[in-house]
Amino acid sequence: MSATNDLARLMREKAEAVGATVVELKNLKEAFAYALDVCDKKEACQLLVSGCEEKLSDKAEALCETKQEKVVAAPNLSDDEYAAFSALCAERGVKCIREGLRGHLAGIDIGVAHADMAIAETGTCVIDSTSEELRLSSMISEIHMAILPKSRIKATAFDAEREVNALINTGTPRYTAFITGPSRTADIERVLAIGVHGPLELHILMLED
């Protein structure tokens, strides 16, 4: 067990170093509650998605206006998990979806996804994103949450190689994502800015197995 905990510790250190938020939780139930707590706290007084408060062109403004409510997406939860999560969302008055993400390109508040594994030395989550809905949820959410069982943390990319290969090379089309921290840029004067195209925050919810 201590090897798992060592990897979890390294994973936390490296992920936090690149601006991810790491929380350790007991189980999926706690993970769902955490996600909704964050959703409640987020922009308590406004529904605006990031950037829509700026002075924009008419077309950009028009896309902003398509977002009218708080939305969370969880496309890769199992049916049972999704039923439980969407019930919790309903209690809090938050819209929960698992498909039709193309209808929300202005942005959604939170995307929740199971991660397939993680690479501790770089703080990276590996997520099979072959489903377009899942892909979009991890791209257009303001806060992206990856649920990661501690036992799925590998030390290095080479330790994860066999399993990553199994994800990308199945004989059918695949889309596999390594995600490390939030979306970032330093393209203006090399000043770090978070959230240029993708999520502004990445939360890694590490679960005990």
Partner 1 sequence: MQTAKTLKEYRKELRESLDNEFLREAMDKFATAYPVSRANAFRGLDEKAMIAEVADAKDAAARNMDGLYAQFKAEAEKRGVKVHMAKDAAEANEIIARIAKNSNCKKIVKSKSMTAEETLLNHRLEDDGLEVIETDLGEWIIQLRHEGPTHMVMPAIHLSRYQVADLFSEVTKQKQEVDIQRLVKVARRELRQHFATADMGISGANFAIAESGTIGLVTNEGNARLVTTLPRVHVALCGLDKLTPSLNDALKSLRVLPRNATGQAITSYVTWITGANECRAAADEKKEMHIVFLDNGRRALAQDPLFSQVMRCVRCGACANVCPVYRLVGGHKMGHIYIGAIGLILTYFFHGKDKARNLVQNCINCESCKSICAGGIDLPRLIKEIRARLSEEDGAPVEATLLGKVLKNRKLFHTLLRFGKYAQKPVTGGTPYLRHLPQMFMKDHGFRALPAIADKAFRDEWETIRPRVANAKLRVALFSGCVQDFVYPEQMKAAVKVLASRGVEMDFPMDQSCCGLPVQMMAERQATIDVARQNVMAFDAAKYDYILTLCASCASHLKEGYPNILAGQTDMTGKVKLFASKVIDFSSFVHDVLGMTADDFKGKGEKVAYHSSCHLCRGLGVVEQPRALIASSGSEYCPAQEEAVCCGFGGTFSMKFPELSKELLDKKLNNAEATGATRMVADCPGCIMQIRGGAEKRGNRMKVGHIAELLAENLK
Three-state DSSP at 147 gives strand
Report the residue count for the chain.
209
Paired with 95 in beta bridges are 71
Q: At closest approach, how far in Å is the CB of 90 from partner 1?
A: 26
Q: At closest approach, how far in Å is the CB of 159 from partner 1?
A: 11
Please name the residues in contact with 112: beta carbons below 8 A apart, sequence gap of 6 or more: 31, 32, 35, 72, 73, 74, 77, 85, 137, 145, 147
Q: At closest approach, how far in Å is the CB of 28 from partner 1?
A: 26
Q: At closest approach, how far in Å is the CB of 193 from partner 1?
A: 4
Q: Which is nearer to partner 1, 47 or 60 (CB)?
A: 60
Q: Which is nearer to partner 1, 31 or 123 (CB)?
A: 123
Tokens at 116, concatenated? 């397939």
Binding site for partner 1 (CB under 8 A): 14, 18, 50-57, 59-60, 62-64, 102, 105-107, 121-124, 130-132, 135-136, 138-139, 157-158, 161, 164-165, 167-191, 193, 195-199
Q: Which is nearer to partner 1, 4 or 176 (CB)?
A: 176
Q: At closest approach, how far in Å is the CB of 187 from partner 1?
A: 4
- The separation between the first and the last C-alpha atoms of the chain, rounded to the nearest angstrom, is 11
Tokens at 88, concatenated? 């919790």
Q: At closest approach, how far in Å is the CB of 54 from partner 1?
A: 5
Q: Which is nearer to partner 1, 4 or 131 (CB)?
A: 131
Three-state DSSP at 172 gives coil
Tokens at 78, concatenated? 């199992």
Three-state DSSP at 200 gives coil
Residue at token pair 């490296």? 14
Q: Which is nearer to partner 1, 28 or 152 (CB)?
A: 152
Q: Which is nearer to partner 1, 64 or 88 (CB)?
A: 64
Q: 4: which DSSP letter? A: H
